[in-house]
A and B are shown apart, each in its own frame.
Chain A
Amino acid sequence: MKFNLKANLIWLGIMVAGFVLIDAAEFTGMVNTFIENAMVTVGINIILATGLNLIIGFAGQFSLGHAGFMAIGAYATGIMTQNMATPLGFWLSVAVGVVIAIIAAIIIGVPTLRLRGDYLAIATMGAAEIIRVVINNLKITNGPAGIFNIPQFATWPVVYVIMCITTIMIANFIHSRAGRAVMSVREDEIAASAMGINTTKWKLAAFVFGAATAAIGGSLHASYLQTIAPGDFGIMNSISLLIIVVLGGTGSLTGTVVAAGVLGVIDTVLQNFGTLRMVIYALALILIMVFKPSGLLGRWELSFKRVGTSKKKEVVDQ
């Protein structure tokens, strides 16, 4: 209990420090629009990828449809804030996006989560593509052209705070009875169900949770960039998020945050390289995977608890 309080205070300190640091950098003019844009993108990617890591790394369910849920949030905000250009309208649109994403995740998850491994990946990818094609053809979403002039409510402080909140929520989920149940499904489904774990229920819980945070990420994306189109939420976008998760280490939230940051920096640095940018990016990706197959951090988690529930290997007393 005492350790928990201490650890929680350290985390709070880090988050406040991060905020103050960015704020100071903004204030002194060290951050231009370009860098702010890159930082906000990293923040939104953290929101999206931590949710995906919950599904892939912790529940062990290979989902490739994250961009679909992101699209739901983005379009909820894009459409609603057109008519309700107030902060209340924005937050309402976030909530609506989350609710629709949850319903969609249940509709998609209940039948498909029975599938295993690559079959699940391809089914979720298909489901996300169906969402995208539908958005592409609806009137309310303005078809392939997308929506522009979305009012900007998601400034960097909003994104930062929401990023902290969703990350804390996912971490809290993982370090609880629910998180243990979810991980047992990843480890061995048959053993888990023999221990009284309703595997379908917990898989779905992780999937729905991840989808809800993806919708939040989508809302922020729409409101910050002020322009969205169906093309922003394709298979390649789901794959970019998957890359963050695997690069950081499946099953490590710290890894996801680090990987999102590293990729953000690589992206920013390579901005001046033109076409060569993606070539270098691809080479970097291959080299990192070949030399660090379990991702940058494996399953390691940053923890301030002396006796934490993290799976960090402690001294094995034998």
Chain B
Amino acid sequence: MSLLEVNHLTQQFGGLKAVSDVSLTIEDGELIALIGPNGAGKTTLFNMLTGVNVPTSGEIKMATDKGQVLINGKRTDQVAKLGMSRTFQNIRLFAELSVLDNIKIAMTSNTRENFVETMLRLPSFYKKESAIEDEARKLLTDFQLIRYARSTAGSLPYGLQRRVEIVRALATKPRLLFLDEPAAGMNPEETADLTAVISRIQKDYGVTVVLIEHDMSLVMNLAQRIYVLDHGSLIASGTPAEIKQNPAVVAAYLGGEAVAEG
């Protein structure tokens, strides 16, 4: 059973079909890239998969401990609790809160504190809080962010904000992680760091990763399989080598800047 199974997914905004009849599968442990020209419907697809948008038609099924679950129709937070997490194209950190609190917030649904122990500050409360604190700090340490733990998230430089957002998504303990243009606006050095981060998430944390990216060197380096979206429809899928050869993909990108790097 595939981790995620998407059948005939369509999203219509008024007269515009942003995503049209997309079917795809994602296997456990894969690293998949979703590419396509601007306006191809990549983010819209992400939004449907993570429950931010409700699909017009089609179905999204995810494998969980309790068997296959239909995702569409569920709220974003319910989808997140099933093990899907994401970052956003235009970074959405909890900007006024500390980096540490950003991570702790992502751990909310995996932790419990009852009302009585919270109000009375029972020893059990402090125990749980320090467990949360330790885990959050461990994650930050793991991704070289610990020195920014107490900084306000919104005050960090752009590249670091991207990284915090990825680590925050990881803190929800997802099985499936969606990254929306993680390398956007990064210089080559930052992109190299990012490549390492993503591949560690897949390998060390065992998380399946799907990423939208325009940086073809990053895509070709990382992705095991690639899906290509154009004008809302899937026009190709395959390994990086296959995609490079695919005439439909080349045609879709003709005149685009991105393919030159790949």
Contacts and interface: CB of A to CB of B under 8 A. Distances in A.
Please tell me whether chains A and B touch each other in their complex, using a CB distance cut-off of 8 A. Answer: yes
Interface of A: 1, 4, 8, 169, 172-173, 176-178, 180-181, 183-184, 187-188, 190-199, 299, 309, 311, 313-314, 316-318
A193 B75 contact: yes
B101 A180 contact: yes
Contact of A176 (B80, B95, B129, B155): B129
A202 B50 CA distance: 20
A178 B118 CA distance: 9
A191 B93 contact: yes
B50 A194 contact: yes
Nearest to B50: A194
Contacts of A199: 77
Contacts of B113: 176-178
A194 B121 contact: no
A130 B108 CA distance: 36
Interface string B102-140: 001110111111000011010001101110100000000
Contacts of B119: 169, 172-173
- For the complex of A and B, list the 10 residue pairs with the smallest distance between their C-beta atoms, beginning with the closest: A196-B109, A196-B80, A187-B94, A191-B92, A193-B76, A184-B105, A193-B77, A195-B106, A176-B118, A177-B113
B56 interface: no
B53 to A, nearest CB: 11
Interface stretch (B3-11, B81-89, B184-192): B81-89
Contact of B148 (A191, A197, A311, A317): A317
Interface residues of B, number: 45
A311 B96 contact: yes
A221 B147 CA distance: 48
- Interface hub of B105, B113, B128 (most chain A Cβ within 10 A): B105
A112 B49 CA distance: 28
Q: Which residue of B111, B112, B121 has the most chain A CB atoms within 10 A of its CB atom? A: B121
B105 A311 contact: no
A187 B148 contact: no
Interface of B: 50, 52, 75-77, 80-81, 85-86, 88, 92-98, 101, 104-106, 108-113, 118-119, 121, 125-126, 128-130, 132, 147-148, 150-152, 155, 168-169, 172
Contacts of B168: 195
Interface of A is mostly: helix
A195 B172 contact: yes
B94 A184 contact: yes
A316 B118 contact: no
A180 B105 contact: yes
A316 B151 contact: yes
Contacts of A193: 52, 75-77, 80
Contacts of A299: 96
B98 A311 contact: yes
Nearest to A188: B92
B108 A180 contact: yes
Contacts of A181: 105, 108
Given A194-B86, A195-B168, A196-B172, A4 B126 contact: yes
B132 A177 contact: yes
B147 A194 contact: no
Given A190-B52, A316-B155, A196 B106 contact: yes
B88 to A, nearest CB: 7
A314 B125 CA distance: 25
Contacts of A183: 94, 97, 101, 105
A177 B128 CA distance: 10
Contacts of B148: 316-318
A173 to B, nearest CB: 7
B92 A190 contact: yes
Nearest to A209: B115
Contact of B76 (A184, A194, A314, A316): A194
A192 B104 CA distance: 12
A172 B119 CA distance: 6
Contacts of B85: 194-196
B97 A194 contact: no
